[in-house]
């Protein structure tokens, strides 16, 4: 019922409403709530989730994704938990194997 009204409002506003479903609004609401600091327990209650699966609905957003990218690119090898035996040394050039 709510989805139908929201889709009509989207269509009336010039959006392509058939691309939006109830799931879109559920995901958007969970993401927005997390971004403004609403505690996970309240997001769970509002979304009527019985488990922590609500976390799957929360998008990290571009700022968070960029921060993760910076961490990935700037992390020293000493921070890795991988065994160093198979890791390239500083002067090595990686070439993919074409088998």
pLDDT attached to residue 38: 93
Q: Which two tokens stand for residue 85?
A: 């035996």
* Cβ atoms of 42 and 74 closer than 8 Å: no
Q: Rounded to an integer, what distance in angstroms lies between the CA atom of residue 79 and that of residue 65?
A: 20
pLDDT attached to residue 44: 92
Query: Going residue by residue through the chain (99 aa), what tens digit of pLDDT does each one get?
Result: 667 887 888 889 998 877 777 777 888 889 889 889 999 999 999 888 899 888 888 887 777 778 888 888 888 877 777 666 666 666 666 665 555
Q: Rounded to an integer, what distance in angstroms lies between the CA atom of residue 99 and that of residue 93?
A: 18
The position carrying tokens 């327990």 is 41
pLDDT attached to residue 42: 94
Q: Could you give the dihedral angle defined by the CA atoms of residues 58, 61, 67 and 69, in that order, rounded to the nearest 10 degrees?
A: 90
């Amino acid at each position: 019922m709510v989805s139908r009204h929201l889709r009509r409002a989207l269509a009336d506003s010039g959006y392509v409403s058939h691309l939006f479903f109830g799931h879109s609004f559920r995901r958007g609401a969970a993401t927005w709530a997390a971004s403004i600091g609403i505690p996970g327990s309240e997001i769970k209650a509002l979304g009527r989730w019985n488990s922590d699966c609500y976390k799957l609905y929360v998008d990290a957003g571009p700022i968070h994704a960029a921060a993760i990218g910076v961490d990935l690119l700037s992390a020293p090898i000493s921070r890795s938990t991988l065994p160093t035996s198979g890791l390239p040394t500083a002067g090595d050039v990686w070439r993919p194997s074409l088998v």
